[in-house]
Amino acid sequence: MTISGSTRVFMVLGDPVAQVQAPQIFNRVFQRFGVDAVLVPAQVRADCLSAFAHAVLAAGNIDGLWLTIPHKTTLVSELARMDACARAAQSVNAVRRQANGELEGALFDGLGLVGALRHFGIEPRGLRVLLLGAGGAGAAIAAALLDHGVARLALHDLGSRATELAGRLADGDDGRISVQSADPEGFDLVINATPLGLRADDPLPFDVRRLDARAKVVDILMKPQPTPLLRACAERGIEAHPGFEMLVQQVPHYLSFFGMDAIAETLKTDLSDVRLGLQSL
- Which helix H or strand E contains 150, and what residues bound it? none
Tell me what pLDDT residue 230 has.
Answer: 95
Write the Ramachandran bin of 149: left for phi over 0, alpha for psi from -120 to 50, otherwise beta: left
User: Would the pLDDT of 217 be above 70?
Assistant: yes
Tell me what pLDDT residue 172 has.
Answer: 61
Q: What is the pLDDT of residues 182-203, one digit of tens each?
A: 999 999 999 999 989 988 789 9
The phi, psi pair for 191, rounded to 5°, reads: -120, 125
The phi, psi pair for 81, rounded to 5°, reads: -145, 150
The phi, psi pair for 239, rounded to 5°, reads: -70, 120
Tell me what pLDDT residue 134 has.
Answer: 92
CA nearest to 244, candidates 206, 215, 267, 218? 218
CA nearest to 105, candidates 66, 136, 144? 66
Residues designated catalytic: 72
Distance (Å, whole) CA 169 – CA 54: 29
| DSSP H helical ranges for the chain | 22-32, 49-57, 84-89, 109-119, 136-147, 161-169, 228-236, 244-257, 261-269, 272-279
Cross-strand partners of 267: none
Tell me what pLDDT residue 238 has.
Answer: 98
By DSSP bridging, strand 62-67 and strand 94-97 are antiparallel
More reliable by pLDDT, 217 or 167: 217
Q: How far is CA 13 from the centre of its chain?
A: 13
- What lies within 8 Å, CB to CB, of 232 at 6+ separation is 204, 208
**Which DSSP string do the residues of 197-208 spell out, in sequence order?**
TSSTTPPPSS-G
- Cβ-contact 9, 38 below 8 angstroms: yes
Tell me what pLDDT residue 207 has.
Answer: 97
Tell me what pLDDT residue 281 has.
Answer: 58
Q: What is the tally of helices (H) and strands (E) in the chain? A: 10, 12
The phi, psi pair for 107, rounded to 5°, reads: -135, 125
Confidence category of residue 87, pLDDT binned at 50, 70, 90: confident
Distance (Å, whole) CA 243 – CA 197: 12
Q: What is the pLDDT of residues 2-32, one digit of tens each?
A: 899 999 999 999 999 988 888 998 999 999 9
Tell me what pLDDT residue 237 has.
Answer: 97
Per DSSP, the three-state class of 63 is: strand
Confidence category of residue 169, pLDDT binned at 50, 70, 90: confident
Tell me what pLDDT residue 173 has.
Answer: 62
Per DSSP, the three-state class of 156 is: strand
Q: What is the pLDDT of residues 111-137, one digit of tens each?
A: 999 999 999 999 999 999 999 999 888
Tell me what pLDDT residue 135 has.
Answer: 85
